[in-house]
Structure 1
Amino acid sequence: MKIKALNGFKDILPEEVALWRTVESQARSILQLFNFAEIRLPVLEKTELFARSIGEATDIVEKEMYTFVDKQITMRPEATASLVRAYIQHGLYVKKPVQRLFTIGPMFRHERPQKGRLRQFHQISVEVLGSENGRIDAEMMALAALFFEELGVNVSLELNSLGCPECRPAFRRELLAFLQSKHDELCDDCRRRVDTNPLRVLDCKNVHCRELVEDAPSILEHLCEVCSDHFSVVRNSLEQLGIGYSLNKFMVRGLDYYCRTTFEFLTTDLGAQAAVCAGGRYDGLVEQLGGPKTPGIGFAMGLERLVLLLQQKGELDGEVPLDLFVAGLGEQGGEFAYTLTHQLRKRGLSVAMDHEGRSLKSQMKQADRSKASFVLLIGDEEVDNRAALLRNMKTREQMSVELRDEEIEAVVSSLLPLR
């Protein structure tokens, strides 16, 4: 019986990896423009880190984490908590008042696998720690919008504010009264949430529950003066930067640490409306985890969904073309090709060759499959004459090339600009 990958865990095959690298490279380029530095974080953390930050009553902590119970360690379900832990542990707040950090890597949640959502999934997580200015919030959304624009992905931005500990209690009381009037009609999860975290009811994916809360009170009607002013700065800044958005009073986050600004970038290109980027403010999280009072904001993008979108569009070819395929024919040709291939690689060309002594026809097929720009044909006769045949695979033109160091340098010089 063949052993297969676990349900919700996917092999990323070579032809897909190149496309992933394209997305990651584009992300790094955009992040560099916005002065972000990369941080690399461990996959395993103490379970307490996520219980304290995400919230013990959240679905993630209650049902979705991969935890080694005997060791009390957990495979990270998201990156923000780990990044904040590192920020505190290494005193990054001392080195620079405002830290702009990002990380790219795998996360783990025991969810029901579906299109674009797996149990091991990959995220680009982007965080700014040390500023509470609403202009930073808008800048983060502008960064994400520019990234999607560069990739050619169609998205829409939805925006909300979750208030703060000062203004949320009054809203919570009004929301609780509303939900209790609908208590018997809610799903089992939402009936439990009414008592533990009523705000999460607004985020329920059950269609009936979503219909029931359509007339629920809005947090936007209960914002304190400070939160209202902050939200005005965010909205005005987005308009100043030319970033379109719509308000969504029902948008909440599935993690307890969020406050004030919350946002999502949505696409309809995956069928049903789906979030490809989500984030918001978490001004109390650093202090909650034992650090100094530090405001923060961040977002995460799911790489699986981005790659899926690009594959559906068919606009990006994930395979990286080969500069040159060296076809060595015969014993002498094969030996010469082996040494030459290594020399050309040292000079900066991507080169492949056949080591199995296959026929010329077979090797030309390999060159085609590798999308080689050129093929260099070297047989025993070519070695004796110190000359080989260079074929342009696009135009099918051929030229003779002397197998001497000076001529090889000329070949390298002519091929490199054609990449």
Structure 2
Amino acid sequence: MQADREGGWLATFYFLYFCALGAFMPYWGPWLHAQGQDPLAIGILTAAVQFSKVLAPNLWGWLAHFWGSRRIVPWAALITAAGFLALWLAHGNFLALLLITLTFSFFWAATLPLVDATTMDWAQRRGTAYGRIRLWGSLGFIALSLGMGGLIARWGLTVFLPGIAIFLVGAWWVSRYLPYSALPAADTPRPRLSGAFRHVSLWFFLLAGLLEQASHGAYYAFYSIYAEQHGLGSAAVGMLWGFAVLCEVAFFWWGDRFIRRRGVPLVFTGAFILTAMRWGVIAWWPGLIWIILVQTLHAASYGAFHLAAVHWLSERFPGVLRGRGMALYASIVYGLGGGLGALGAGWTWAHWGGRGTFSAAALLALLGAFFLIWALQPAPALEKEAE
């Protein structure tokens, strides 16, 4: 009974968190445009959110190592919600928008890696599957990426900030009840994070992941535009985005079992190869049938990749180090990789067009697969290395 209740809190947090993210990602740019920001300003404010994920998770992960996630996640979630509401006070002033955006994104970046570590710890203690908890985040993303569009169509962009803040306040409330792991006693020796840095496989893993996520820059920035250029309407494009995330949900449901049977190396390698295949097909065969079919590969390019990465990190970063390992992963792979990928996609789109952009994305994923080979070399976990 207690396990069901704890799993329910975790699933609810993921659902609410990704509801907010699903409402934010598609409509942040339009909201900024409605506030009178020009394309350069919109680009800077969007990059501020992305690049905040580079440094912030590592700082929060380091603090959680000593304070515990229980003391950080609720406060970070609450300040994030307040930050969104504070955007009202900017009244379209760019510098005020930038300052507030840097603030809320700095705290927003604290929550997900620490909750991921909490969920993985809990799943291992309870003998259950991380993916079956995490999939509720994907369902929340689908619900609000589609639902916010309907709300905006009815009431305009005035619903953007309060709509997101409601879900963030809900995430804050739920975060107070998550099954955080207890901190070791003060006199208990703790493993060193520095021990992980001596294993070159960690750096190959981070580089491979950075390249795989950078390849998604073309997808997140230009897939909708590219699909519309090849005859799809905006409604059809929205359905394709939703279909891709549903495929991701399906993998999260079955993925832990598949990883236990087939192993992390096979799932990881397959994710990279199928990611390259996905971008290559979009680049060279952009017809309707192929575009629909390759959306199923979102289950590999994001679902399988993320789930395999979480399992890989859990083996390398035990116990109290898990939060810092997840934070390092989030900052390098999603923060730096995502930011560089978006910037690179903008440049290639301007100079090489859609086909060249997605071809470059396919090459990035293949290059990531090369470094992945070295990342998958065995290395010991860190539990015996004490501070």
Decide: shared fold, TM above 0.5: no
Structure 1 length as normaliser, TM-score?
A: 0.22
Structure 2 length as normaliser, TM-score?
A: 0.23
- Structure whose residues are more often helix by fraction: 2
Which protein has greater RCO, CA pairs closer than 8 Å, 6+ apart?
2
Q: Which has the larger radius of gyration?
A: 1
- Structure whose residues are more often strand by fraction: 1
